[in-house]
Amino acid sequence: MARWVLHVDLDQFIAAVEVLRRPELAGLPLIVGGRGDPAERAVVSTASYAAREFGVRSGMPLKVAVRRCPQAVLLPVDTPTYLAASAQVMQTLRELPDVVVQALGWDEAFVGVQTEDPEAFARQAQADVLTATRLHCSVGIGDTLVRAKIATEFGKPQGVFRLTAHNWFEVMGDRPTDALWGVGRRIQQRLADRGIQTVRQLADAEEAVLVAEFGPSMGPHYGRLGRGVGSATVDDTPWVPRAHGRETTYQHDLVEESEIADALRSLADQVVEDIRREGRPCARVHLKVRFAPFFTTTRIRKLAEPTYDAGIIASTALGLLHRLEDNRPIRLLGVRAEMTEPPGGY
């Protein structure tokens, strides 16, 4: 029996969970984000397929989303409910026979399996998830993680699609490079500047050209993406976080030094709670700041010695902010604590 990688992706996950609680919302344009109030500063966490038809996308400000789809139903984010639903889905996948499951987030996972009929196995996975959770999913089948992940997009919604070395260029060759997992708009533009517009062109590109643009590590990586090659191993090793961070978008811009300092201390206190649970102190402090209207930057500083002291973390973040020498009002702050490496390494 051949080894296969399946990528299981729940369809419109958060919206679907909300519809389970409110069946009357089925088929309606539904937007979940923030506290469900477009007057507040928040972004879309998810949009139902009906809302996406109006151009609503995850990460979009709620105000913009409502302008695009004024008839949409808005709901606040309910993280505990989504986590519980996600855990049930992952447990269902792990109960499939002879599989290895690698969770990628709330709503997706790789499943490694040996089978003569991967389509039949995928349909069984869909049926088991639906029975256990009443949630639908799409499944991509591949001979590598990359191909399985990309295949899912061709199976949505509620479908199954196989993408392997045999049909890679038939399916992907003429598509733009941002159709690849891990190639965003900025990378797509840098590739285009080199005359590389399609997946096939990326696959055929000389490695020296890619190395010159992206370096000795990422250059060859993008070339491999263009060919769909890569690891075929699903790894269920528990994920060990390198850092914990908290951020807040404020309902009014922060201007006064005292309120900025208080905000950073509050974030630092939350981060320290997170890293204490890990048992690994903070070694580097990351600051994220978004100035009005929408300019975002980040800065990092290594501490003299690792610490759990929220005051040191907050003052370090404030020092990074001061070094920017930017007095514009602040609409978002984030503090991230990069922890010491675990005893066994990553």
pLDDT of residue 346: 66
Q: Which residues pair with 176 in a beta bridge?
A: 198
Q: Is the pLDDT of residue 273 over 90?
A: yes
pTM value is 0.82
Compute φ and ψ for 170, nearest 5 degrees. Answer: -60, -40
How far apart CA 92 and CA 129 sit, in angstroms, is 6
Q: What is the mean pLDDT of residues 59-70?
A: 93
- Find out whether 148 and 141 touch, Cβ atoms under 8 Å: yes
Q: Which residue has the tokens 């993280």?
A: 79
- Find out whether 310 and 344 touch, Cβ atoms under 8 Å: no
Proportion of the chain above pLDDT 90, given as a percent: 91
User: Across all residues in the chain, what is the average pLDDT?
Assistant: 95
Q: What is the DSSP string of 284-316?
A: EEEEEEEETTTEEEEEEEEEEEEE--HHHHHHH
Q: What is the mean pLDDT of residues 16-44?
A: 92
Q: Is the pLDDT of residue 343 over 90?
A: no
Q: What is the mean pLDDT of residues 223-227?
A: 97
Q: What is the mean pLDDT of residues 1-9?
A: 95
Residues in the chain: 346
Q: Classify residue 203 as exposed, middle or buried by CB count within 10 Å of its CB (0-12, 13-18, 19+).
A: buried
pLDDT of residue 312: 98
Which of 294, 300, 303 lies closest to 340, judged by CA?
Answer: 303
Q: Active-site residue 247, yes or no?
A: no
How far apart CA 178 and CA 188 sit, in angstroms, is 6
- Find out whether 288 and 333 touch, Cβ atoms under 8 Å: yes
pLDDT in tens, 65-99: 999 999 999 999 999 999 999 999 999 999 999 99
Q: What is the mean pLDDT of residues 50-57?
A: 95
Q: Which residues pair with 35 in a beta bridge?
A: none
Bond prior to 157 in cis (omega within 30° of 0): yes
pLDDT of residue 42: 86
How far apart CA 78 and CA 14 sit, in angstroms, is 9
Q: Which residues pair with 108 in a beta bridge?
A: 9
- Beta strand spans in 106-203 (E): 108-115, 137-142, 160-163
- Find out whether 338 and 245 touch, Cβ atoms under 8 Å: no
| Domains parsed from the chain with CATH numbers | 168-227 (1.10.150.20), 243-339 (3.30.1490.100)
Q: What is the mean pLDDT of residues 99-124?
A: 96
Per DSSP, 179 falls in state G
pLDDT of residue 11: 96
pLDDT of residue 59: 87
pLDDT of residue 345: 75
Bond prior to 293 in cis (omega within 30° of 0): yes
Q: What is the mean pLDDT of residues 135-152?
A: 98
pLDDT of residue 238: 82
Catalytic residue chosen out of the listed positions 108, 206, 278, 338: 108
How far apart CA 259 and CA 308 sit, in angstroms, is 23
- Find out whether 227 and 171 touch, Cβ atoms under 8 Å: no
Q: What is the mean pLDDT of residues 179-188?
A: 94
pLDDT in tens, 275-295: 999 999 999 999 999 998 889
| 120 to 5, 6, 124, 132, 141: CA distances (angstroms) | 13, 12, 6, 18, 11
pLDDT in tens, 232-267: 999 998 878 899 999 999 989 999 999 999 999 999
Number of CB atoms found within 10 A of residue 148's CB: 29
- Find out whether 98 and 125 touch, Cβ atoms under 8 Å: no
